[in-house]
Structure 1
Amino acid sequence: MKILIISDTHKSHGSLMDAVALEKPFDMVIHLGDAEGREDEIEAIVEAPMHIVGGNNDFFSHLPAEKEFFIEGHHFFITHGHSYFVSRNEERLVQEAKGRGADIVMYGHIHRPVIKKDKDILVINPGSIAYPRQQDRRPSYAIMTINPEGEVSVEIKYLEN
């Protein structure tokens, strides 16, 4: 299974369209918030099943703040992250994920990519595909692959500005 992981699109879909063109085919998309009311447009662009949560800029949104689901035996917990103060660190988010029994937690909000293994929890932030904040400011996203044995691999990918 191949999953495209994105966050913080903020109504800007040019880089998302580039990533979709580069990565197709994929089986699913996970969007970690700040779609700013454009989730229907994003769904049309990706043409795949999508899990999406609301972020701090998703005002008046019907999107849930958090979601839990299972894929290939893995327990996912996704959220935008601002409610867990991820701008400071991931400690509260990781504790929440552990309390829920998740083995994979994903968040957005900070606009910088992160992949960490915290004991038994894989922590992923794809960065922002629209407004990156890491040093080189290249739009980023993540690709997760789950092989038939259930092994997970994740890679951060970058687009040119």
Structure 2
Amino acid sequence: MKIVIVADIHGNHDALSALPEDYDELWVLGDLVNYGPQPREVVNRVMQTASLVIQGNHDYAVAHDDDSQWTAQYREMAAATRAYTSGVLAGGQKRYLRDLPRQAQATRDGHRFHLVHAMPSNPFYGHCAPDGEGWVTDMSTLSADILLVGHSHRPFIRKIGDRTLVNPGSIGQPRTGTPHASYAVWQDGGIQLKSFSYPVGITIARLQALPLDSTIKARLTGILGAGSV
């Protein structure tokens, strides 16, 4: 069995549709929407193709019209794009986001997976460095062999005892210092981080055409082009 794992699509349908990988199952670790220019297309594609999807903090914010927990660093940008996203999604798409689980478990080929957007102890807003002790504490509460997380947009794999912690990075808004989209592949009991290029210039042009303040558009396009905040 081959599972492709993606996270933090953030309305970037150009990156999602360019995924150069076939798979038996597609798993999505939350944040389908916000920041990107094509949230409607992303939600439709995920609804049609993904086998397992969990809710991220941006999905929750859009589904519930709730910007209350944004940090100061991202508040203005997140609130503006949340308003745009909410305006273009259909009612059924919002319900889909609202009904997504915050955490999920699955077993494939004898391997037990736990999926969460940020951390099991704080599913939406948990933060911990890849080598942080918080992961050890969180994994000790799980019965899973493999913990899959997103949220930080930074890909990594870490072994904690006989368990594995994986962040596939962001497919739609990477933080690797390049605009290349990141994802992970689990196959035959092993997991691998991968990345690929896509026509980011087209996505930037779509962002420039959005009805947003020019400073917000400049910041969003800068993040996409540089692969960093």
User: 1:97, CA displacement in angstroms?
Assistant: 3.0
Q: Contact 1:31/1:53 (CA < 8 Å) preserved in 2?
A: yes
Aligned to 1:66: 103
Look up the match of 1:15. 15
Aligned mates of 2:194, 2:129 — CA distance in 1: 24
Measured after TM superposition, the shift of residue 127 of structure 1 is 0.4
- 1:1-150 alignment, distance < 5 Å: 1-19=1-19, 22-24=20-22, 26-36=23-33, 38-44=42-48, 47=49, 49-58=50-59, 59=61, 60=63, 61-81=98-118, 83=122, 85-89=126-130, 91-146=133-188
Paired residues of 1:76 and 1:104 also in contact (CA < 8 A): yes
Deviation at 1:4, TM superposition (A): 0.5
Tell me the TM-score normalised to structure 1 length: 0.83
Report which of the two has the higher share of helix: 2
Range that drifts further, 31-40 or 5-14: 31-40
TM-score, structure 2 as length reference: 0.60
Q: 1:41 to 1:79 in 2, by over 3 A?
A: same
Percent identity at matched positions?
A: 31
Q: Taking structure 1 as reference, are residues 87 and 100 closer, same or farther at Cα in structure 2, changes over 3 Å only?
A: closer
Question: Which stretches of structure 1, 4 residues or more, deviate above 6 A after TM superposition?
Answer: none
Choose between structure 1 and 2: higher strand proportion: 1
Q: Does the 8 Å contact 1:81/1:93 carry over to 2?
A: no
Count of residue pairs the alignment pairs up: 150
From the superposition, tell whether residues 41 and 132 of structure 1 become closer, same or farther in structure 2 (CA, over 3 Å): same
Displacement of 1:94 in angstroms is 4.1
Between the aligned partners of 2:2 and 2:12, the Cα distance in structure 1 is 24
- 8 Å contact 2:2–2:185 — kept in the other structure? yes
Flag structure 2 segments of 5+ consecutive residues without an equivalent: 34-38, 64-97, 199-229
Residue identity matched to 2:51: M
Offset from partner CA, 1:83-110 (integer Å, 9 cap, x none): 2623445543443333221110000001
Aligned partners of 1:137, 1:87: CA distance in 2, in Å? 23
Q: What is the CA-CA distance between 1:131 and the residue it aligns to?
A: 0.4
Q: Distance in 2 between matches of 1:91 and 1:67?
A: 23
2:8, 2:173 within 8 Å by CA — same for their partners in 1? Answer: yes
Which runs of 5 or more structure 1 residues have no equivalent in the other structure? 147-151
Does residue 212 of structure 2 align to residue 153 of structure 1?
no
Based on CA coordinates, which of the two structures has the bigger radius of gyration? 2
